[in-house]
Each structure stands twice: as C-alpha cells, then as structure tokens.
A and B are shown apart, each in its own frame.
Chain A
Amino acid sequence: MNEKNPGIDRRQLLKTSLALGLCALTPSELRANDDSTVTLPFERGRRPLVAFPQKRPLMVMTTRPPQLETPFHIFNEDIFTPNDAFFVRWHLANIPQEIDVNTFRLTIRGRVNQSLSLSLHELHTQFEQIEIAAVCQCAGNSRGFFQPRVPGGQWGNGAMGNANWKGIRLRDLLHRAGITGDAVQVRFDGLDQPVAQATPDFRKSLPLNDALQEEVLVAHSMNGKALPMLNGYPLRLVAPGWYATYWVKMLNDIEVLNQADQNFWTTQAYRLPADPCHCVKPGEALTNTVPIGKLPVRSFITNLEEGRTIPGGEPCTIKGIAFDQGYGIDRVLFSVDGGQQWQSARLGKDFGDFSFRSWEAQFIPKPGHAYALQSLAINRIGESQRFSARWNPSGYLRNVIETVNIQTS
C-alpha cells in the first residue's frame, strides 16, 4: 500500500470479489429492464435509449439540440466514463455537421499583444501536451430531483462523467499571445450558433486568474481518442473543478477582455442566489445572484439501485464514486440506517484531485430488513455533502446525501 493508493491490498481485493457476488447487482441487472427506455424516478422521467453519432444508446432528454444522459449503471463499470457513453448537452441547435480539420483555426484575440490563429496541426506540435483526469458535470445534473420541481432540463444523476482529457494549457496559448496589463477575463466561443439571429450566441467567460491555472486545458482528446463531435470535436475547454457550462465545446475563439463579460450567458443565465448556501425558499424571488462556479462535493452508490432486494445474512460490498472541485476526496462515510451511524469506506485508486474517486464498504444485512443506504464524502478541506437538499429556482448545485432504499430476503 502506498500513499497514493491507500484503500485496497490484494487480500482485501480477494475478499471483496468473493463478497461482491452475494449482494451487488450484475451489470445486466443494473441496466434498464427493457433495452429501449430508462425511467428516472420522477414524474415524466421516462427516457428513450437512442444511439446518436459516435454514441451507444443513451437516454434522450431532447433530440434537438441534443441532450443525452448517461445511464447510471455506466458509473459502476469504470472510473472513467467511456467516450461513447459520455453525456451530451448543447444549448443551440445550429451545430456544425462537419469540421474541416485542414481549415479549422483557433483564434486568440482581444487584450493581447499579438492575436493568434492556430491550426490543429500547430496546436498539436508547437505546445506541450498535457493529460489530466477530471469530472465534467452539468450545472443542471440531478435537477429532476428538486422538490418542488423546477423548470429546465430534467436530468437524473447522469449528466456527469469522468475522463482523461488531453490537450494544451490555456495559459501557454495566452502567454504566447501575450496578455495586456488591463486584462480581467477570458471569454470562450464555439462553432455552435443559434437558429434565430436574436438568440444570444453561447459564450462563457472565466476570470483571468482562473483561466491561467495550470490545469485548464484546450483539449483535443478524451480517454485517448479524439473528442466525439457531440462532446466538442475538434477542441473544447477543459476547466477542471468548474461546472461543465464553462467547458465550451467546438472551441474556436478565445477573447481576452478588459472588463467583465456582459453577454447573456454570463450575466443572466447560470446564476445562483448570492447567499453562502446558494439557496432560497421555494417561490422566493431572487435578488442578488452570482455566476455558478465550482463543483460541490458529491458521492453516489453505484452497484445497487433504489427498491432492490438482496440476500440477507451474507456480507455485502457496496461500491460507489465521490468527487469535488479539486481539493480531492479525504474520506467517504457509509451508512445503512439513513445516516444515524456511519462507518468509513475504503477509497480506491487516486487518479488525481479532479477525478472520480472510487470507494467501497462492506456490511452484513440481516434477513427480512429494510435498509436506507447512504454515502457521505468529505474533501481535503473538510467540506462535506449537505444533510438537507438546498433549493434554488434553476435547480443547480445539488449535493445532498443521496439515499438508496433496499430490502433483504
């Protein structure tokens, strides 16, 4: 056992695999009952499974523009979400249907000493190539679970994914262009366009200091392959720790600004109540708002699902994942009684502070009982998940402790 990989030694692994078969659901059991739909546990939660280009069948929330959710059992199969299972979310329907890799250019302009226009070949050959594991989570992930319900994309928990992103540091590009002294923000624009001229083009901005962090990449690959078109081919911004709204897809324009970005998607969309909780009472009007930012700490159980019956009297290994905004997961606690008592879970291999972290815990359920399984992740600065769900009118930032109710035979 080394420090980077504390959780699991060989003996434990053996014990684990022996115990696993007794209670955990097999991959096929975790999949949908039929192959054509998945039903999320909220009203109007039935989603057809359809294969879009370069994708396996995913849960279709909307076809145009495409919004596709990853079926949750995928998160039990690999700590890295396969490219063809990775969720998809576009805002505007006018998405290029073809990219000419020879004429594509990424421009860096605005408050810089010298504007740049770089080909894919130049980006690939003239800059250091960096790889980082990071979670990409939609701001509206889990919105469908808000009570009372809120308008917007009705996602379950599958609008997230973890990948090894490869590309070049944004700051290497900015430094080559040379940032002028009055720069304050960096704005990102992709090739997608609105269908109606009056619709604001989708653009997002980061404060300059955040844009210059070493982990922020202009990525061309995920999990060792070119980005799928629906995940932003040929380039997307990868802003580890930040909500996915900032991870602009089909990125072709980077503009350094000398004042705060005034575009709609920053000043009016993706806003949170400004109070520290970022929550309000249902129905209460918002007064002060701030832009959504980084990921609060979350964890999930991945190998059991709500309402299942497992054998009683046998050891049961519960598996799951945890993540936060990049401080890293310090520990995960596990409860079988709805949070009255907690035990420590074992953490799995550490793929970096921005990655999913696997965990597992064992318990021996009694026959004929009901259990409320919960997990609670705590990051390295001591932030934990919330014990009660926050509410805000856009359905952002859910990180309450999730519960999986099961029975034993």
Chain B
Amino acid sequence: MRVCMFCIVFLWGTGLAWGLPATGDDREPASILTLPADPISFQPGPGSDLASRYCLMCHSAEYVYMQPPHSREHWMEIVNKMKTTFGCPISNEDMGPLADYLVTQNSLQPSPSAQHVQRDDWMETPGQPLTQSGDPQKGKAIYERHCVTCHGPGGKGDGPIGQALIPPAANLTFLGKQSDQTILDTLRNGRPGTAMPAWKNDLNALELNHLLSFLRTLAP
C-alpha cells in the first residue's frame, strides 16, 4: 500500500500524469472535442442557396440571425468584407443578390435563431421516407447548383473553391464504401471542423435522395 501510494505521488510529481484527462465530473476525455452540427440553416428563399454556398463554409447561420437590423448598404459592406478581408470566394454578380437575401433574413420575426430546431425534423415530412430511390438526373441538377463550386464537376474535390479550403473539399469519387445512411447524414448535418455545411434546411429528403443517386454515379 505504501509503495503504491509512493508510485502515484512519484508519477504525479514527475508530471507524467499531467496532460491526461482530469478525473472527476468531466463529461468526456479532456483532449477530445466533438462539436455539434449547426442547429439551423438559412431559411428557404431567393438567395438562400448563395448564403448556404458562401457563408456556411466558415460559420453557422446564427452569425446572420443574431444581428440587429442592418441596412442593405450595411449588409453590402459585410458581404464585401467577407470577400475581400476574409477571402470568401463570392463572385461579383452574387454579391448584390446575397446582400438582398441577408436583408430579408435580418428582418424575420421571430429570428430563426430563437427557434429550437429538431435535428431530424426533415424525417417527419409526410411521404418522404428516410431512404428512397432518387433520380440521378435531378440529383445532377442539385449538385450543379449547390456542390460543384467546391467538389468540382467530376466530384474530385477540385472545384474553384474546394482547393482553397482547409482541409480541401472531399473527393466524392471515394464515397463508394460509405453507406447511404452515412452519406445522407453528412449531407444533412455537414462535417464539423470542415467547410461542409448542413443541407437539411435547404434540401428536403427527396432532394437529398436525388443527390445521393447522383453521387453514386460518381462513386459506383
């Protein structure tokens, strides 16, 4: 007993125990961080696809919904700052429509950030079961609208934005081994720690399945 006590004291004294997860009421190991997926996305409307494409790669939609009312001029300044200062690859022609959309979101009452969003509320949409056969042609159209700027036309992660990300956009031709469920989960909830946003509020279950069908043509 005395020897054991000495061992513990000795280990602590040399600092070998230091850096290990603290004991007690810690809820998970101290050196692991598992962050939650975004609870909300941008509300559907003209320009919401632009906000999803450009804003969500770096931050959650709450950044917009917590803001007090700003004028359109002010939102243009913010869009410009995101483009020129923070390096968001917003094309010149998308700047105005994006600012227009942000103005509409900024005046929503109540703000969506105040709402509690069910993580899997989309599953309860009537007539839209979890997995179903999608149409790859419809999926291609969705892919070209939302995905191609990062993942590239062939899905190799070589889109104009995708290569500028840390880590770079995923090569979707390697998705073959992943289950439908895994891919749908990533599409819905995004991948924390990367630019991959959650699409569950932009795309409904049917659209996600169309997209999945198209992704399968990239990664048979």
Contacts and interface: CB of A to CB of B under 8 A. Distances in A.
Interface of A: 36-37, 42-44, 46, 48, 50-54, 60-66, 92-101, 104, 120-121, 124-125, 144, 149, 151, 153-154, 193-200, 220, 225-226, 228-230, 233-234, 264, 268
B193 A95 contact: yes
10 contacts: A44-B113, A48-B114, A63-B39, A96-B33, A125-B15, A151-B74, A195-B166, A196-B57, A196-B87, A197-B166
Contacts, number: 167
B199 interface: no
Contacts of B62: 60-63
Contacts of A60: 39, 62
Contacts of B20: 101
Interface stretch (B21-29, B139-147, B178-186): B21-29
Interface stretch (B65-73, B93-101, B120-128, B204-212): B65-73
- Most B C-beta atoms less than 10 A away, residue of A61, A96, A151, A193: A151
A98 B32 contact: yes
A121 B15 CA distance: 6
Contact of B31 (A93, A125, A199, A229): A229
Nearest to A225: B22
B138 interface: no
Contacts of B32: 53, 97-98, 229
A228 to B, nearest CB: 7
A195 B57 contact: yes
A65 to B, nearest CB: 7
A144 B63 CA distance: 14
B164 A198 contact: yes
Q: Which 6 A-B pairs have the closest CB atoms?
A: A198-B87, A149-B68, A46-B114, A101-B19, A124-B15, A229-B33
Query: What's the dominant secondary structure at chain B's contact region?
Result: loop
Query: What's the dominant secondary structure at chain A's contact region?
Result: loop
A199 B84 CA distance: 9
A63 B15 contact: no
Given A51-B27, A95-B193, 6 more contacts: A43-B69, A44-B111, A60-B62, A94-B166, A100-B31, A195-B166
A106 to B, nearest CB: 12
Contacts of A46: 110-111, 113-114
B24 to A, nearest CB: 8
A228 B29 CA distance: 10
A200 B36 CA distance: 24
A62 B165 contact: no
A154 B85 CA distance: 21
A179 B15 CA distance: 28
A66 B35 contact: yes
Interface of B: 14-16, 18-22, 24, 26-28, 30-39, 57-60, 62-63, 65-70, 74, 78, 85-89, 110-111, 113-114, 116, 161, 164-166, 192-195
Contacts of A196: 57-58, 86-89, 161, 164-166, 195
A43 B27 contact: no
A36 B117 CA distance: 12
A154 B66 contact: yes
A46 B108 CA distance: 14
B160 to A, nearest CB: 12
Contacts of B15: 120-121, 124-125
A193 B166 contact: yes
B30 A229 contact: yes
Nearest to B74: A151
Contacts of A198: 86-89, 164
B101 to A, nearest CB: 17
A264 B67 contact: no
Contacts of B31: 98-101, 229, 233-234
Contacts of A124: 15, 18-19
A233 B59 contact: no
Nearest to B167: A94
Contacts of B36: 50, 52, 63
A97 B70 contact: no
A319 to B, nearest CB: 27
Given A196-B88, A198-B87, A97 B35 contact: yes
A220 B20 CA distance: 12
Nearest to B108: A44
A186 B125 CA distance: 55
A62 B21 contact: no
A120 B14 CA distance: 12
Contacts of B193: 93-95, 97
Contact of B78 (A120, A151, A154): A151
B68 A43 contact: yes
A51 B25 CA distance: 14
Nearest to B110: A46
Nearest to B198: A64
- Most B C-beta atoms less than 10 A away, residue of A52, A54, A96: A54
Contacts of B194: 94, 195
